[in-house]
C-alpha cells in the first residue's frame, strides 16, 4: 500500500446547529484531507503536535477510528489544540473565527523530536501539506521543513502542495509570496485555486496564475465548478458535474478534492481522471454540514479502478 504523510494542524471545531447552538467536532484542512484519504483506501499518517488534554485524546481516538495513523503526533505537556468556529450563510458560504495563537501544533518544527519526524518523511510515497501548514511555523521552522522535503524527494517521495490560503495567517503578504514561491519550486504536484491565489496576485488572469507555478503537474481550481489541469506546460480544462443536492456548507471542499486527487494518482489514474474524482467528492462534501461528512455519504466508485496500484507519477 502506498503511504501518505499529511502535515498540519487539527483544531476543535464548533459548527452551527439548530436554534443558534453549536455542535463540537474537530477539523483542519490537512486533517480533513487525511481522513478522506483513509476512507479512499490510502495508507495515511497525520503529523502534528497536540496537548496532553482530554480534547487531544479525543482527537487521537477519532483519527485512529478513521484509519489515520497517529504514531507521529507529538504530545506536549500543558498545551491545547486550537479552536475554530464556522458560520455559514444561506448559500453555504462559510466564515471562520479562530483561537489558535498558542496551539500545540505551532511548535512542531521546534521540538526535540523534530529531526526524527522530519527524517521519517523520506519513507513516504507522497507528502501533503498546505499553505496553512506553512503559516504555522516561523522562518527557521519553514526552512527545516523545506530542507526535509527536498531530502525526501531525493529519496523518491513526492511533495503535493495545496495553496489553501488564509490571510490571517500571513500578516506580511510579501513573506507569503516568498514562501509560496519556494513551495511551488519544491513541489511535484500543486493543487491551487483562484480563491487562494488572487489575494496574493490580484487582478491577473488564470494563465498568469498558472505561469507563476513552475511544476509539471498543476491543478488550478476556478471560481466556477471547473479546473485547469496543466501537464508539462499543456493546459486541460475540466468541468465538474453539477451538484445534485443543495449546497449547505463549502467547508472542506478543497480538502476533499485534494484527497480524491492524491488517492486517484496513487492507484495510477492520470491527472485528468484524478481531477474529475476530486470534483466529484467535493460536490458531495458541500452538501453536508461540517468538514467531515458521514461515512455513509461517501460516493461509491469514486477512485478509478486501475488494476496495478503504483506510486503517483506524471
Phi and psi at residue 8, to the nearest 5° = 170, -140
d(CA 9, CA 100): 10
Sign of CA dihedral 189, 270, 40, 242: positive
Which cell is 87 given? 458560520
Q: Which of 158, 177, 282 is nearest to 217 (CA)?
A: 158
Q: Which of 233, 237, 244 is nearest to 222 (CA)?
A: 237
In the DSSP assignment, the letter for residue 50 is E
First to last CA, the chain: 19
List residues bridging with 75 in a β-sheet. 50
d(CA 75, CA 54): 12
Active site annotation includes 255: yes
* CA of residue 199 relative to chain centroid, distance: 19
In the DSSP assignment, the letter for residue 157 is -
The number of residues making up the chain comes to: 314
CB burial class (10 A; 0-12, 13-18, 19+) of residue 208? exposed
d(CA 9, CA 109): 12
The single residue of 89, 188, 255, 270 carrying the catalytic annotation is: 255
Active site residues: 255
Amino acid at each position: 500500500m502506498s503511504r501518505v504523510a499529511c502535515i498540519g494542524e487539527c483544531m476543535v471545531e464548533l459548527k452551527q446547529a439548530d436554534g443558534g447552538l453549536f455542535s463540537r467536532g474537530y477539523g483542519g484542512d490537512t486533517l480533513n484531507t487525511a481522513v478522506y484519504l483513509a476512507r479512499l483506501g490510502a495508507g495515511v499518517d497525520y503529523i502534528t503536535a497536540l496537548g496532553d488534554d482530554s480534547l487531544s485524546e479525543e482527537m487521537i481516538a477519532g483519527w485512529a477510528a478513521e484509519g489515520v495513523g497517529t504514531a507521529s503526533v507529538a504530545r506536549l505537556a500543558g498545551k491545547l489544540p486550537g479552536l475554530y468556529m464556522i458560520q455559514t450563510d444561506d448559500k453555504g458560504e462559510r466564515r471562520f473565527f479562530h483561537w489558535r495563537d498558542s496551539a500545540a501544533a505551532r511548535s512542531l518544527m521546534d521540538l526535540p523530536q523534530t529531526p526524527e519526524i522530519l527524517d521519517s518523511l523520506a519513507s513516504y510515497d507522497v507528502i501533503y501539506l498546505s499553505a496553512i501548514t506553512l503559516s504555522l511555523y516561523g522562518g527557521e521552522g519553514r526552512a527545516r521543513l523545506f530542507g526535509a522535503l527536498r531530502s525526501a524527494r531525493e529519496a523518491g517521495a513526492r511533495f503535493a502542495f495545496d495553496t489553501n490560503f488564509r490571510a490571517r495567517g500571513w500578516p506580511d503578504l510579501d513573506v507569503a509570496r516568498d514562501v509560496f514561491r519556494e513551495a511551488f519550486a519544491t513541489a511535484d504536484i500543486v493543487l491551487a485555486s483562484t480563491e487562494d491565489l488572487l489575494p496574493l496576485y490580484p487582478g491577473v488572469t488564470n494563465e498568469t496564475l498558472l505561469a507563476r507555478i513552475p511544476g509539471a503537474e498543476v491543478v488550478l481550481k476556478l471560481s466556477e465548478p471547473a479546473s485547469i489541469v496543466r501537464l508539462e506546460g499543456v493546459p486541460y480544462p475540466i468541468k465538474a458535474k453539477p451538484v445534485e443536492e443543495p449546497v449547505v456548507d463549502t467547508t472542506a471542499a478543497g480538502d476533499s478534492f485534494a484527497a480524491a486527487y492524491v488517492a486517484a494518482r496513487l492507484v495510477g489514474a492520470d491527472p485528468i481522471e484524478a481531477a474529475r474524482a476530486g470534483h466529484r467528492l467535493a460536490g458531495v462534501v458541500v452538501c453536508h454540514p461540517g468538514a467531515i461528512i458521514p461515512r455513509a455519504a461517501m460516493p461509491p466508485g469514486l477512485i478509478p479502478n486501475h488494476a496495478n496500484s503504483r506510486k503517483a507519477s506524471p
